[in-house]
Chains A and B, each alone.
Chain A
Amino acid sequence: MHLHSRTGWLLAAACAVFLGAGSAQAAVGVVFVHGTGDQSVSSATSGYWTQSAIDTMRNGRPYLIIGYPGATCAGYSQCSWGPIVDQIVPWMNANSITSFTVITHSNGSSPIRYMLGHTGAVSANGNTVNSVTSRISQVIFSAPDLKGTPLANQVTTSGSFLNIANSVVEFFGGGSYNNPAVVQQRTDNMSVYNSNGTFAGGLGATTVGGKPISVVRGNRVYANLFSSDAHCAGYLYTIGLKAAALLGWGSFSAATDGFIGSDSSGYFGNIIIDDGRLNHNQSRRGCHNSGYLIGQKVASAPIPAPGSQTYAPETNVQAAALACNNYYSAYATDYMTDHTVWKYGCSSTMLNNGYPEPDCLISYGYSSSYRIPSTASWNPFLNPNNYPIYSEVCPDSWQGDGICDACLVAKYGFDATTGSSGANDCVQAPPGGSNWCGDLAYDTYWGVHNYAVVQALH
């Protein structure tokens, strides 16, 4: 990754926070509406969104986390959108909010669509929907369920929550498998609600109820076991959602985030993120840079079109291990010293011997209880004593230099530069080729550990 690029990000984020603070004085806020599930404000904050994701997305603006019965009430029911209205009104009044962005996740889109389509509806507390919608400046639907999900058909017809790693259970809000919000999300029912005006927004619309609509969505469940992208927000969710892709759409590689199909999330709105590595769970947690981009959208800052968005290279220890034959022990020549070195490799015994074995960390992502990527002091790749011939310990300038550095993989999970064409040092060469690899090894001439550069033949 280019240091320059990372610095740019930090500066941009700092500026955004500053702008956010300014906007907060102008009473421009952000409202978060969760998806299926009966959430309190507390559970929605800590369990559904998480504070760090909220802070990234709100981009310094004052915010309101909504808690409402999003499982026991369908999106069109007063008991669903009513509490949303009744929480926003006092928040606006208490904080002099003149306008706000609404961010929803999953079926949180449904009560908002109802509100945008029925401005004259009245909440249980007597607030008209229009008193809230009139101050909405934009709506960002993250992984919206605009045409329903076949998983809702599955759980209602099978009478089961499809207990795949608990993922589907949670996204349908727990409790009963045929709660009103689940029944509402059946694809056949959503077809009715979309056609009879219950939910506002028609095919291809970019504005609904006079509000610009942006859509953030994933279109694949990326479940590479060794990938940080797959692990973001929890690997079990990822694997469960991948299984759900088969259950709901008939294919592991279907165009879906594992819970919502692309046809549903893309029914209308301007698609500002369309990511193959953003599953349904990850889209509420700001994974794969989505939180940052949403924050930019909240600040009305320009963001690249989906096809031009770039990401930090993913953590991929398996690729590095394969490129550098790190699974195996052997003698090799260190091209820095021309000394013979002993490559440690990683046997099954070493993997669980209680120590942070360097090649086990690189080969499997862990060694006993130690896991990478990590910058902790136990990380042997960050110990200056292991770099006797170097003036620096694993500098970032080694990224993208043509040598697959185990120390960078241990530190960040990858050794590559950022950007769409960023060089990745750890792409395994084809059979007959070789990779240059930096790794800790035992220098047999000096009798010390040293960071050696060796050639891995394939």
Chain B
Amino acid sequence: MTSHPSFVRFAGLGLAVVLLGGFTPEPAVTSKLRSTASATLAPGDVAPGRLFARDAREGVGPGLVSVSNPTSPQPLAAPAVPETRRSKSTLLHVAPGSAATQLVLPITAPEDAWVMVIPKGSDAKVGEDALRDVAMFDPRGLRADVRAARDASAQLGADADRLKADGISKPIAMLRLNREMGQGLYKLQIGAKAAKVGLAVEIREPSSSTELAITPSALQLSPDAEGYVTVGLDSAVPLERVKVEATLYTPRYERDRTVPVVKVGKEYRAMVSRVLTDRDEPGTWMVEVHATGTAGGQTFDRLEQTAFGFVVPTARIASVGSERLVRNGSGRVEALEVDVVVESQGLDRYEVTGTLVATDGKGVERTVAEAQVTDQLGAGSHVLTLRFDAGHVGLAKLGGTYALRGLQLYSLGTNTLYHRLNRGLEVHFPAVRVDELAAPQMTPAIETMLREGAFNVRE
């Protein structure tokens, strides 16, 4: 890794060029800056809509830092897409301080099913006592927890005597059901002592065909963009009386507000963006989706959660360009540079990152170096220069026309991503041979990577 020696805040492109005294920028293939305004978004791209004028209060501080790093010549990773999370389980709660009560556990597929009875809190001993105050009965009214606990312990393989000798005899109730116990509504009797402690009761039915699947519409949402969580319910048997509810949790996992759910065709959508505004804190929010109803006449209950990023963007990448080769006095290429114009509406410590790729003999783009430039910027238009150390670029021995990929703008004040252009607006540097590139400054990290063959091109 090498750092740009300058620690001076760039005021503009002109100043940037002045600071490059001693190096000769080669005439660029194209000197114009490409605007992001008309850019077509590729999969995984993130683009801010409206910018908000607010200053970051944390994680800010002055000083420009410019860093270049070599990378292993690997193909570019596939763009990240929102994950689908699936559930054949649910979770019921008895709040701490409750009175003795009875829970009804809907079991549609008892074979391989588990019921976990988990005391609330952090005191193992209190929880252990609470569990002695809980009993489970199958749909026929027969006591089922003793047999189910024995089956679970047998699978765990724990030495009960050994645990008891260490003061632990029943740290958690894991109940293993079986087909003979039957499907239907089980009853969990919770005595006064257990109810006072509070319980979480998880039901897992891996053999059930009824599955809840939820997928955010995007990896991150912003106040001006429509965003939702798609809710799907699959089952081998007809589903009836289906009810879907959604709840938002803050980045601190605090239960926050209800999310409206609409039905669109066969699926449901939890309309998250309708309840979030720019007054909400940026970060990673979570949505809990709860689906109930009947499956083939049997009551089912499913629960799943997912997360999404929520940003209130204060800046964007406005344009990119003026890519150039910087040569030293002997004609060797010292660096590959490209300017990134950042438009900001508020004070923050902004970070621009880009990855340089080369194309191998088979036409596969492989990463060769990455560069990052960070500075504290206020409202206005600013030029930040990504500087790829030519020594790093040459380690993979892949020459030719290098391209900029994975261009992104990140806010260190809010730890959120504001802008990402995976294709980097198709910035390509002038063609250069590997032997034109300056030798790398060796570091222990580069020596280790060379020793381990990290720069070898692998199929």
Residues of A within 8 A of B (CB): 28, 76-78, 98-99, 118-122, 126, 128, 130, 133-134, 136-138, 153-154, 156-166, 169, 174-178, 180, 183, 186, 188-189, 191-198, 202-207, 209-212, 223, 225, 235-236, 239-240, 242-243, 246-247, 250, 252, 270, 300
Contact = CB atoms under 8 A, between A and B. Distances in A.
Interface in B112-131: 114, 116, 118-124, 127-128
Given A236-B163, A246-B156, 15 more contacts: A99-B444, A118-B410, A120-B65, A120-B374, A121-B412, A122-B61, A133-B1, A174-B122, A188-B85, A195-B219, A196-B219, A196-B417, A205-B74, A206-B72, A210-B445
Give the top 6 A-B pairs by smallest Cβ distance, nearest first.
A120-B374, A210-B69, A158-B200, A195-B80, A137-B444, A163-B124
B251 A225 contact: no
A263 to B, nearest CB: 12
Given A159-B198, A204-B74, A225-B162, A243 B174 contact: yes
B122 A161 contact: yes
Interface size class of B (residues with CB under 8 A): 35 or more
Contacts of B67: 119-120, 130, 134
B364 interface: no
12 contacts: A77-B415, A121-B59, A122-B60, A130-B1, A157-B288, A159-B200, A160-B119, A163-B123, A239-B159, A242-B158, A243-B171, A250-B206
Contacts of B120: 158-160
Given A192-B219, A239-B163, A130 B454 contact: no
B444 A236 contact: no
A191 B1 contact: no
B307 A158 contact: no
A206 B85 contact: no
B59 to A, nearest CB: 6
Nearest to A243: B156
A163 B119 contact: yes
Contacts of A156: 253
A198 B80 CA distance: 13
B459 interface: no
B299 interface: no
Given A178-B252, A194-B80, A212-B449, A130 B3 contact: yes
Contact of B445 (A126, A138, A164, A252): A138
B273 interface: no
B69 to A, nearest CB: 3
B457 to A, nearest CB: 13
A164 B172 contact: yes
Contacts of B74: 204-206
In this complex, the member of A153, A176, A197, A270 whose beta carbon has the largest number of chain B beta carbons within 10 angstroms is A197
B220 interface: yes
A155 to B, nearest CB: 9
Contacts of B3: 130, 134
A157 B452 contact: no
Contact of B168 (A121, A134, A188, A236): A236
Contacts, number: 228
Contact of B200 (A160, A211, A242): A160
B29 to A, nearest CB: 27
A120 B412 contact: yes
Contacts of A119: 1, 65, 67, 372, 374
Nearest to B126: A163
Nearest to B286: A188
A300 B204 CA distance: 46
Contacts of B2: 134
Contacts of B72: 205-207
A211 B127 CA distance: 45
Interface string B206-231: 10000000000001100000000000
B351 A118 contact: yes
Nearest to A206: B72
Contact of A225 (B46, B159, B307, B445): B159
Contacts of A191: 83, 307
B93 A122 contact: no
Interface string B74-106: 100110100101000001010000000000000
Nearest to A245: B156
B345 interface: no
A134 B1 contact: yes
In this complex, the member of A138, A195, A242, A300 whose beta carbon has the largest number of chain B beta carbons within 10 angstroms is A195
Contact of B121 (A76, A161, A223): A161
Nearest to A240: B171
B349 interface: yes
B180 interface: no
B122 A212 contact: no
Contacts of B349: 120-122
Nearest to B453: A206
B157 interface: yes
Interface string B155-186: 11111001100101001101000000000000
Contacts of B168: 165, 236
Contact of A160 (B118, B155, B392): B118
In this complex, the member of A138, A192, A239 whose beta carbon has the largest number of chain B beta carbons within 10 angstroms is A192
B219 A243 contact: no
B360 interface: no
B309 A192 contact: yes
A212 B448 contact: yes
Contacts of B122: 160-161, 163, 169, 174-177
B449 A122 contact: no
B358 to A, nearest CB: 16
A270 B452 CA distance: 10
A223 B158 contact: yes
B65 A130 contact: yes
A157 B92 CA distance: 10
A242 B154 CA distance: 13
B445 A211 contact: yes
Contact of B448 (A137, A197, A250): A137
Contacts of B44: 195
A145 to B, nearest CB: 15
Interface string B300-317: 000101111100000000
A97 B449 CA distance: 20
A189 B445 contact: no
Interface string B371-412: 011110000000000000000100000000000000010101
Contacts of B119: 160, 163
B250 to A, nearest CB: 10
Interface in B37-83: 44, 46, 58-61, 63-65, 67, 69-72, 74, 77-78, 80, 83
Contacts of A240: 171
A193 B171 contact: no
B171 A207 contact: no
B330 interface: no
B443 interface: yes
Interface in B282-299: 284, 286, 288
Given A28-B444, A236-B166, A246-B156, A120 B372 contact: yes
A122 B7 CA distance: 13
B353 interface: yes
A420 to B, nearest CB: 24
A239 B156 contact: yes
A198 B373 CA distance: 16
Contacts of B266: none
Nearest to B88: A250
